[in-house]
């Protein structure tokens, strides 16, 4: 399996928790509105983004090297 194909099969537990919290607190619409104009990764995180999403994006602003699969 190619690395990209493997990535499609794996989840992101931290991101999944953020989405779960956005859904649970009815903030998905707010998140979508805040990011409607966000078209490039080099733009700052929109100030109107829910704090859980803004914090997640700021913590993960720098991509790390791909880790080899252990499975």
Task: Please state the domain extents for the chain.
Answer: 12-71
pLDDT at 1: 52
Question: How much is the pLDDT for 35?
Answer: 87
On whether the CB atoms of residues 18 and 53 are closer than 8 A, the answer is yes
Q: How far apart are CA 64 and CA 71, in angstroms?
A: 20
Residue 69 pLDDT? 54
CA–CA distance, 35 with 46 (Å, rounded to integer): 7
* pLDDT value for 42: 83
Q: What is the pLDDT of residue 70?
A: 55
Low-confidence stretches of the chain (pLDDT < 70) are: 1-4, 7-8, 63-71
Q: 53 and 20 in contact (C-beta within 8 Å)? A: no
């Amino acid at each position: 399996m190619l690395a990209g194909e493997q990535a499609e099969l794996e989840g992101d537990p931290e991101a999944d928790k953020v989405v779960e919290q956005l859904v649970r607190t009815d903030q998905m619409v707010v998140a979508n509105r805040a990011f409607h104009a966000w078209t490039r990764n080099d733009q700052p995180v929109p100030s109107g983004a829910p704090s859980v999403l803004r914090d997640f994006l700021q913590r993960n602003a720098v991509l790390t090297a791909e880790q080899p699969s252990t499975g």
